[in-house]
Amino acid sequence: MTPPSFIIIPLASAFLITLVGRKKDLWGPLLAFAATVAVFVLSLLTFFQLGTGIKVYEMGGWKLPYGIALVVDPLGAFMLIIVALISLTSLLFSVSYIRHLGSDWKYYALFMILVGAMNGVLVTGDLFNLFVFTEIAIFAAFGLVAYGGRAHEFEASFKYAVMASVSSSLILMAIAVVYSATSTLTMASISVALSSVGPGMKIWIGALFLAGYGLKAAIMPFHAWLPDAHSSAPAPISSMLSGVLIKTLGVYVLVRIFYNILGAPQIFLTTFLILGTLSILLGVILAVGQWDLKRLLAYSSISQVGYILLGIGLNTPLGVAGALFHLLNHALFKSLLFYNAGTLEIGLGTRDLRKMGNITRLLPITAHSSMAGSLAISGIPPFNGFFSKLVIIIAAVQAHLPFYALLAVVGSLLTLATFLKVQRYGIRSENPVERLQARPGWGMQTAMIILAVLCILTSFLIIPGIKEWVLDPVVAAVMNKTGYAAAVLGGR
């Protein structure tokens, strides 16, 4: 019963909201809250019950490899917890933020469809099912980016839609090539059949998937939609997009395809290293020169995803552990920073850093949590960003690649410079601010406090006792590579 409920609960609540939300305004947020809390509790239970095992659920009773199977392994369960946590805080934030943007039930329905589709990407074990859930999540994201009704939001959504349709066609062609080589669509059977196929075919498949899903993850040559889309969206949607969407649709799918299906050939690992380092440096150089707060945060998202790719390209347990830990941390502190930007936008009416003033007295929670978020992203101890970046840099040095480690350190220093600029101009500049245009609601403040506290608490994940309990099963599931197929097909 458990794996399909991750998909059924959000989608059923989305359609219930469209049915009853028209009549009474209060049902929309209530149903959305109930569904998200249920998914969060279920994901925690699943992760701690799973341990190092794997759970296979056949839809419709059809046996593998004829049917579509849902597969939950530690990597998927870990990401389910992250998605549920960030969507819970985003719902808390949006209750008061969306009031001034129009009718509510459409927003909540689209939001639940987004959460349901991302859960679907994380639990599926079939390649075409993955593609369908990716498309559903992308549609919900288009609608949510254009939700506010201002001119630049439509432009950003149009650019995002056109680029996503190019990448979808590339993914379809990749699926066609995989099907012609292996005659099956279940991911476990594909990895068994691909081990007897020549390296030329693997390079074709890998290149097409890298181009298609790399665009959804905003890796460097394919990143052009991200600054517009993430800066024009409303603040809770920016945190969902930047915190979880580019990671489930991009990084998780790339890890599945390149580690578990293709078995991590060396040429793609080198490509990950190069593209990851390029993202780190170019993302942060473009971020330093921005004066628009949300555009700056969007560019720094590109740079932090580069760190995750660098860790994944190293192909050592320490590197993969650092990359997954950084994935969790980035979701936490980037969401916190986007919530701060949203509060500043409501309070002061502007997103331009040059026009902001000193708000430590008027918005104390925003000021202190923004200090926590900025210290975490720059990698200052004892916040979690320091530990995850340290693990990635040590792993790079241990793998005899000191040049990449040096570039990662340079990127971290430039990130520190960027966020010092945000603090100096956005929070503590010299212009005095007399009064605010609007006060932030209780939901917004609660969401920011929760994330700021979690930024410190997750540093404890690096302690060796807790690390074996939480992070090591996930790393083992990734490094198992093609052992994933044996676990899915064999042991039932």
Partner 1 sequence: MIIYLLCFALFLIGLYGLITKRDLIKIILASGIMGYAANLMIVLFGYRRSGVYPILEKGKETAVMVDPLPQALVLTSIVIELGTTAMLVALTIKLFNKYKTFDISKIRRLRG
Partner 2 sequence: MSEKQGLTVIVKTITRTILAIIFLYGFYIILHGHLSPGGGFGGGVVLALGFLSVLLAYGRPPVQKWLNIPVLHSVESSGPLLYVALGLLGIGAGGAFLLNTLGKGRLFDLWSSGFILPLNVVIGIKVGLSLFLAVWALTEWDPEKGDDI
Site for partner 1 contains 204 (CB under 8 A): no
Q: For residue 326, which of 343, 341, 314, 338 has the smallest C-alpha distance?
A: 314
In this structure, what is the dihedral angle of CA atoms 392, 393, 398, 403, given to the nearest 10 degrees?
130
State the Cα–Cα distance between residues 298 and 219, nearest whole angstrom.
13
Q: Which is nearer to partner 1, 33 or 179 (CB)?
A: 179
Bridge partners (DSSP) listed for residue 358: 432
For partner 1, the binding residue among 26, 60, 100, 180 (CB under 8 A) is 180
3-class DSSP assignment, residue 244: helix
Site for partner 1 contains 172 (CB under 8 A): yes
Rg (CA), the chain: 22
Q: What does the block give as tokens for 227?
A: 């600054």
Q: Nearest 5°: phi and psi at 56?
A: -115, 135
Closest distance of CB 291 from partner 1, Å: 9
State the Cα–Cα distance between residues 286 and 289, nearest whole angstrom.
6
Q: Which is nearer to partner 2, 8 or 390 (CB)?
A: 8
Q: For residue 39, which of 96, 115, 149 has the smallest C-alpha distance?
A: 115
Q: Which amino acid is at 77?
A: A
Q: Which is nearer to partner 1, 30 or 132 (CB)?
A: 132
For partner 1, the binding residue among 157, 242, 340, 369 (CB under 8 A) is 157
Q: Which is nearer to partner 2, 19 or 166 (CB)?
A: 19
Enumerate residues 6+ apart whose C-beta is below 8 A from 65.
Answer: 184, 186, 188, 189, 489
For partner 2, the binding residue among 2, 12, 142, 482 (CB under 8 A) is 12
Q: How many of the chain's residues bind partner 1 (CB under 8 A)?
A: 35
Q: Which stretch binds partner 2 (CB under 8 A): 8-16, 187-195, 207-215, 390-398?
A: 8-16
Site string for partner 2, 57-96 (x = CB under 8 A): xxxxx-----------------------------------
Site for partner 2 contains 8 (CB under 8 A): yes
Question: Distance of CA 89 to CAs 196, 381, 467, Å?
Answer: 46, 25, 25
Q: How many of the chain's residues bind partner 2 (CB under 8 A)?
A: 15
Q: Which is nearer to partner 1, 84 or 185 (CB)?
A: 185
| Positions that interact with partner 1 (CB under 8 A) | 128, 132, 135, 139, 142-143, 146, 151-152, 154-158, 161-162, 165-166, 168-170, 172-173, 175-176, 179-180, 185, 227-228, 231-232, 290, 292, 295
